[in-house]
Chain A
Amino acid sequence: MTDSQTILLATLPSPPAKAALPPSSIAPAKVAAPAKPAEPQHSNEAIERSIIDQSARGPVLTFFSTAIFWLLVSTVLGYIASKRLHDPDFILGPEWLYRMLGVDGLFRSIFDSNFTYGRVWPAYNTALIYGWCSLAGMGVATWLIGRLCRVAIQAPAVLQLGAWFWNAGVAVGVIMILGGHNTGLEYFEMVRGARVLMFIGYLCIGIWGLILFRYKRTVAPYISVSYLVAGFFLFPWFFGAADLLSSAPTPGVMKNVVNAWYQGGLFNLWFGCLGLASAYYFIPKVINKPIYSYNLAKIGFWGWVFLGGLTAMTKLSGGPVPAYLVTISVAASILSIIPIACLTVNIGRTMIGHTDKMASSPTLRFTYVGTVFFAIAAGLGVLGALRGVDSFTHFTTWDYGVKHTLLMGFFSMVMFGAIYYITPRLVGCEWLSRTFIKLHFLGTAYGGATIIALFLFGGLAAGFTLNESAVDASPSNPGREFIFTNVMANGGWQHVIRTYIGYVFFGVAQIIFAIHFIFMRLRIGQPAGEPTLMSNPGEAH
């Protein structure tokens, strides 16, 4: 930030008088323009907001651009992984081109040995979780902290550096996984070096987040602040502890226990908190009305933070671990109905009477649909923890379905909503095409839902076959009747549909989104001022 900007910030009227008011009075929402004429107070705030936005511009755009790069990478890897499951010997891409270039032999050997399902699947998860989701989440969170605490970012270069360290870590991790360096722990497959790079990057980013919070000029009465602090504060503890414990010479099943515990922190607390922070900010912002009940939101927050770290051991039910771990997790899962219900009721009641705005505002549509997916994901988590359901879904793709509901349904949707809101404020022009946004929404929602539904139903179908009793063979047949390939043969359709409908639709939507985002970076778009809506208000119905 330049000196003149500092002076400008210092001369602004002090905000506390305004701070205690509900969000609607803090800032005129961009989408629903306030009816009353702008007062001088507002224009000062507008200047202040634009200073804060400008200070965040570099790092946040770096986060978004690299996140979108990883989104594309992960979608391609996901397509390959999914296709490998029903067509294990396929070769990607135009073979005639490889033959023409004389690299078909090389390509074939790389593709055959480095892109098998067992390597592509973890590479896909790493690119999706640590590449796209984490980077987008940190970008949105940085911007949100600046906005909510009304502080400009003092040293954007540190954040930039952090973003590049993190990216380097993810890149090393993904490439090493494809090359065969895998730790043997799910969702934590990156080699140590990659994890160290990511952790250094995180320290640059997360510490800045907390410092911004420390130097807040005011705190807007949004529950988002609590969620952001929780996410930023808890992630390094979980990540660091999991890193130390999985590199420590503690052999035995403790590594699996720690890994399951880390997954709880990663999915429930890191992605849960960052995503909910964004949802709790943008929904009231766009509809220009405070959240239905702040106390309900608070109960939901504390419930989620305390229970989120306890629910993950259901993954190990029946496994070689102390049984009480699973019992505690089942109990915590059932209790977590309370925070989930608080959140669902709160957002639902807030949206009453405003659902028509979803037709026009891309931010609201993505964020609200994402929040609905959160309720579904959390509900599925509770359902899957129940013993009766778990006996059918354990060891099947059901778990992938629940994780994808959280990552693709909830988190990605909320992040898209936030990116649609934030980017125009950083680059100074509006999104080019409403058709692009519409197509992106359709592909993401329906492609993502297809992927999720097929993981879930395919998991159930496989689970029923897996659970078939084994001893109904005829006495003359000494072997048992159960043939494992039945499981895959009965469930083979799910992989086909998931590949060609799920990942293709999802992938095309993300390519459209990436092109749209590149246009924004090149400042090709609508003139600033009027947000690009998906339809003109009142037109859609």
Chain B
Amino acid sequence: MDKPSTLFTGIFGAFLVSTSVMVLLPNSQLSGLQPQIVWEEGQNSPSDMYPVKIEHSLGHRHGERIYVENGCYYCHTQDIRDPQFGPDIERGWGARRTVARDFIYNDTPLLGATRMGPDLGNYGWRDSEGKRFWRNEQPNDPTKPAVRDAAFIYKHLFNPRARTEASNCPSNPGLFEKHDIGAGVSPDAVAVEGKKQWLPTAAARNLAAYLLSLDRSHELKEAPVAKSKEAKK
């Protein structure tokens, strides 16, 4: 065995090397990140700013917490990679790769490490006509892509296998409550049992609001929006 002093110095040195390279160095680089601001000539306020802090009143924060509580991030990533790493963008999961600046207002970025379900990093991204679609998943009728809206999310949360038979996403009955059908079946109802209807709780509504707010397609100077293959030619 080495002398105790050598041993402790060496071990502590190893820790210092690891910390400075893996924590302090990136921290000095990332901690100063600011939103990208565009000022037009002669204007008093910026004409464009990204990312923007999302208001708490939207229930966004609560929705994010529900996302974490139920461990959605174990199967759904929010990490679009450059085309050289995989066909994420080609597949319509995002307009460009995600970068550190996208997450400066996120308490804990839920990048995720495993894809047992599709990436959700741009779930609220709208196409040129202002509609959100599952661009790539229409198992039943390819001509009718499913529209991504709150009602769609409620159905998925209540029973993912109702639409996609092979899905192994957990059902979350805990996010729904039984209510009397008063004036009529609510458009948000996910199931009707006799005179009762299953309606989303506040948690489910906020989770849907959170998911629909996910949009990281804004052009950034370090991550230009990927051009399609045709446009390149």
Contact = CB atoms under 8 A, between A and B. Distances in A.
Contact of A116 (B117, B137, B138, B172): B172
A172 interface: no
A315 B113 contact: yes
A483 B137 contact: yes
B118 interface: yes
Contacts of A233: 8, 11-12
Contacts of B114: 395-397, 399-400
A320 B99 contact: yes
B170 interface: yes
26 contacts: A88-B160, A88-B170, A116-B70, A118-B71, A118-B73, A121-B74, A122-B74, A182-B68, A183-B108, A245-B23, A253-B103, A253-B109, A255-B109, A257-B23, A257-B27, A261-B23, A264-B18, A302-B10, A315-B113, A320-B97, A325-B26, A394-B85, A467-B87, A470-B87, A488-B166, A488-B168
Interface stretch (A96-104, A223-231, A434-442): A223-231
A391 B68 CA distance: 27
A89 to B, nearest CB: 6
Nearest to B33: A252
Interface string A361-404: 00000000000000000000000000000010011110110000
Contacts of B224: none
Contacts of B72: 118
Contact of A479 (B8, B26, B135, B166): B135
A264 B142 CA distance: 44
B137 A254 contact: no
A112 B174 contact: yes
Query: Which of the four size classes fits the interface of chain B?
Result: 35 or more
Contact of A118 (B10, B74, B164): B74
Contacts of B112: 395
A17 B4 CA distance: 20
A252 B136 contact: no
Interface of B: 1-2, 4, 7-8, 10-15, 17-19, 21-23, 26-27, 29-31, 33, 68-75, 77, 79, 81-82, 85-87, 90-92, 97-100, 102-118, 135-139, 142, 145, 160-161, 164, 166-174, 229
Given A117-B170, A229-B8, A467-B86, A261 B136 contact: no
A462 B116 CA distance: 9
B74 to A, nearest CB: 5
A189 B12 CA distance: 27
A89 B167 CA distance: 11
Contacts of B75: 117-118
Given A321-B100, A479-B135, 10 more contacts: A88-B168, A233-B11, A250-B27, A261-B19, A469-B90, A477-B142, A483-B137, A483-B139, A485-B137, A488-B166
Size bracket, chain A contacts: 35 or more
B170 A116 contact: yes
Contacts of B106: 251-252
Contacts, number: 252
Nearest to A315: B113
Interface of A: 84-86, 88-89, 109, 112-113, 116-119, 121-122, 180-186, 213, 219, 221-223, 225-226, 229-230, 233-234, 237-238, 241, 245-246, 250-258, 260-261, 264-265, 298, 302, 305-306, 308-310, 312-313, 315-322, 325, 328, 391, 394-397, 399-400, 462, 466-471, 477, 479-485, 487-489, 492, 495
Q: Which of A225, A319, A325 has the most CB of B within 10 A?
A: A319
Nearest to A87: B168
Contact of B111 (A256, A313, A471): A256
A234 B116 CA distance: 34
Nearest to B29: A322
Contacts of A484: 117-118, 136-137
A350 B98 CA distance: 50
Contact of B68 (A117, A184, A309): A184
Given A112-B174, A253-B109, A318-B81, A181 B69 contact: yes
Given A226-B2, A319-B81, A185 B8 contact: no
Given A261-B23, A480-B136, A113 B98 contact: no
Nearest to A259: B108
B87 A261 contact: no
B23 A318 contact: no
Contacts of A483: 136-137, 139
A226 B1 contact: yes
A470 B91 contact: yes
Given A225-B1, A309-B18, A489 B33 contact: no
A469 B115 contact: no
A470 B102 contact: no
A400 B21 CA distance: 26
Contacts of B138: 479
A127 to B, nearest CB: 15
B78 to A, nearest CB: 10
Contacts of A252: 30-31, 33, 100, 103-104, 106, 109
A180 B69 contact: yes
Sort A-B residue pairs by CB-CB distance and give the 7 closest, nearest first: A118-B71, A309-B18, A113-B174, A180-B69, A318-B85, A318-B81, A116-B170
A116 B71 contact: yes
Contacts of B86: 318, 391, 394, 466-467
A482 B91 contact: yes
Contacts of B90: 469-471, 480
Nearest to B67: A184
Nearest to B108: A184
A84 to B, nearest CB: 7
Contacts of B98: 319-320
Contacts of B8: 229, 233
B22 A313 contact: yes
A117 B15 contact: no
Contact of A487 (B2, B85, B115): B115
A305 B14 contact: yes
Contacts of B87: 467-470, 482
Contact of A251 (B21, B26, B105, B110): B105
Contacts of A468: 87
A85 B168 contact: yes
Contacts of B7: 226, 229-230
A37 to B, nearest CB: 31
Contact of A261 (B22, B99, B139, B229): B22
Contact of A230 (B11, B69, B74, B104): B11
A310 B136 contact: no
A234 B22 contact: no
Contact of A310 (B21, B26, B171): B21
